[in-house]
């Protein structure tokens, strides 16, 4: 008899990332994974060269180099920062490992990042999935419905702000309301992977809540705006007690020296940061407006992607995806997020954006 995994493991559908290729198409434009079209900071690339001399050695275990840079830029308490060399996904999972057990419940919204469900089930806990509000131009997390889902078994609430794949966000006041309605023993995990892109004045990524309350965690990533998806660097900011728990279970050298050096250089390069923000601010509204001209619904987004809704029939999402693939463009199908009639498009370079939009226009016109 083979060993049997603990309850919940075999209920997990493995995570499948955005496709990188199309059979029979030699050159593709990949707009399926929300990667940065601007790429990494030149300073980060130079730091990778610097790391070559030390690859035979273990890195400093607390990732001090990187934590110091993050603390400096974001004006944070160094002792309350933890990094990860496996993206913010690993931190989201470690939080579940530390705080969820069989019989517990973890709440998240209907179209939330798939890792929340995976981490919950992996700890034999119960996912509680809350429907989102469908407005004219956005799928929104419903704060009242999230709070109504809280029970004595609730131990964790995950929220992506902004949310992937919908692109919508909750304001500072809405997040404060959400936190205020939670019992003190419930951990609010704010996944702000796309927070760097948001320029709305009523948005706050989570630092303010973490500073005030012991039951809040904010996670961030270098994979999106910083253009370092291939290095898989993530970080979190939390109370001293939560950091103590996570430091007890994380790997002893969980952030390599090359990750520390590149991440530190990237976060300090504010000129490159604003270059990426400005690129997104230029092309996100252009993509939205141009695709809407075809009659398709494109949801409002504050991240570096848009969610495109397709109708039933011949102009459905699957046929659109196939048409785009033939033209060498890959978008992200989001049926696994409960959105079978949608495709998600990442903001790319100017040429990539124009090509993708042109193909969508052609598809809708045929």
Judgement on whether residues 222 and 247 belong to the same structural domain of the protein: yes
pLDDT at residue number 1: 78
Instruction: Please indicate, yes or no, whether residues 194 and 332 belong to a single structural domain of this protein.
Output: no
Per DSSP, helices labelled H in the chain are 42-51, 64-74, 87-99, 115-122, 143-148, 172-180, 207-212, 240-249, 257-268, 270-292, 317-326, 350-365
Domain for residue 360, yes or no? yes
pLDDT of 161: 98
* CA distance readout (Å), 242 to 127, 145, 205, 238, 339: 22, 27, 18, 6, 34
204 and 323: one domain? no
CATH of the domain at 326: 3.90.1150.10
Q: Is residue 293 part of a domain?
A: yes
Give the pair of three-digit tokens for residue 151: 């029970």
Domain that holds residue 99: 42-268
Q: Which two tokens stand for residue 346?
A: 């990442």
The 10 Å CB-count burial string (b at 16+, else e) for 219-249 is bbbbbbbbbbbebbbbbbbbbeebbebbeee
- In-domain check, residue 78: yes
Q: In this structure, is residue 24 part of a structural domain?
A: yes
Tokens matching residue 258 = 């090359």
| CATH at residue 100 | 3.40.640.10
Asked if residue 223 is part of any domain, the answer here is yes
Q: Write down the pLDDT at residue 315.
A: 96
Separation between Cα atoms, residue 109 and residue 126, nearest integer Å:
14
Check whether residue 64 and residue 28 sit in a common domain.
no
Same domain, 31 and 156: no
Q: Residue 7 falls within a domain, yes or no?
A: no
263 and 280 share a domain?
Answer: no
Q: HSE-up of 214 (CA within 13 Å, CB side)?
A: 8
Query: Per the domain annotation, does 12 fall within a domain?
Result: no
Angle formed at CA 75 by CA 188 and CA 266, multiple of 5 degrees: 95
- Return the pLDDT at 174: 98
Q: Total structural domains in the chain?
A: 2
Q: How high is the pLDDT of residue 333?
A: 96
Using the 3D structure, point to which of 222, 243, 268 is the last residue of a domain. 268
Q: Give pLDDT < 70 ranges for the chain.
A: 26
Co-location of 277 and 191 in the same domain: no
CA 318 distance to own-chain centroid: 24
202 and 285 in a common domain: no
How does strand 297-298 pair with strand 105-109? unpaired
> 268, 302, 325 — which closes off a domain?
268
Tell whether 53 and 187 lie within a shared domain: yes
| Same domain assignment for residues 279 and 361 | yes
- Statement to judge: residues 98 and 29 lie in one domain: no
Residue 241 in domain: yes
Which pTM value belongs to this model?
0.95
**Last residue of a domain, which of 268, 288, 305?**
268
28 and 62 assigned to the same domain: no
């Amino acid at each position: 008899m083979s060993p049997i995994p603990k309850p919940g493991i075999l209920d997990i559908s493995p995570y499948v990332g955005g496709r990188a290729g199309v059979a029979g198409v030699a050159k593709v434009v990949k707009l399926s994974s929300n990667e940065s079209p601007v790429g990494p900071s030149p300073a980060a690339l130079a730091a990778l060269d610097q790391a070559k001399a030390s690859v035979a050695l273990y890195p400093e275990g607390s990732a001090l180099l990187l934590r110091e840079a993050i603390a400096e830029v974001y004006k944070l308490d160094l002792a309350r920062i933890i990094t990860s060399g496996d993206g913010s996904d690993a931190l989201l999972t470690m939080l579940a490992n530390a705080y969820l057990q069989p019989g517990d419940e973890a709440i998240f919204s209907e179209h939330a990042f798939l890792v929340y469900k995976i981490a919950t089930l992996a700890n034999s806990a119960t996912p509680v999935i809350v429907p989102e509000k469908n407005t004219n131009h956005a799928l929104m997390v419903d704060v009242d419905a999230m709070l109504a889902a809280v029970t004595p078994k609730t131990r964790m609430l995950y929220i992506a702000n902004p949310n992937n794949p919908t692109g919508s966000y909750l304001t500072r006041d809405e997040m404060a309301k959400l936190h205020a309605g939670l019992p003190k023993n419930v951990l609010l995990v704010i996944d702000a992977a796309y927070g760097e892109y948001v320029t709305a004045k009523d948005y706050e990524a989570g630092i303010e809540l973490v500073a005030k309350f012991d039951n809040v965690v904010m996670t961030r990533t270098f994979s999106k705006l910083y253009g370092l998806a291939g290095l898989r660097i993530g970080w979190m900011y939390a109370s001293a007690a939560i950091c103590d728990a996570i430091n007890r279970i994380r790997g002893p050298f969980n952030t390599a020296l090359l990750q520390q050096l590149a991440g530190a250089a990237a976060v300090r390069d504010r000129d490159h940061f604003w270059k990426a923000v400005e690129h997104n601010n230029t092309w996100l509204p252009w993509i939205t407006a141009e695709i809407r001209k075809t009659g398709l619904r494109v949801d409002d987004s504050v991240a570096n992607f848009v969610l495109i809704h397709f109708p039933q029939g011949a102009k459905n999402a699957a046929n659109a995806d196939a048409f785009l693939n033939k033209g060498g463009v890959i978008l992200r199908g989001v049926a696994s997020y409960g959105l079978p009639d949608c495709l998600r498009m990442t903001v790319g370079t100017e040429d990539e954006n124009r090509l993708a939009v042109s193909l969508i226009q052609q598809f809708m016109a045929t």
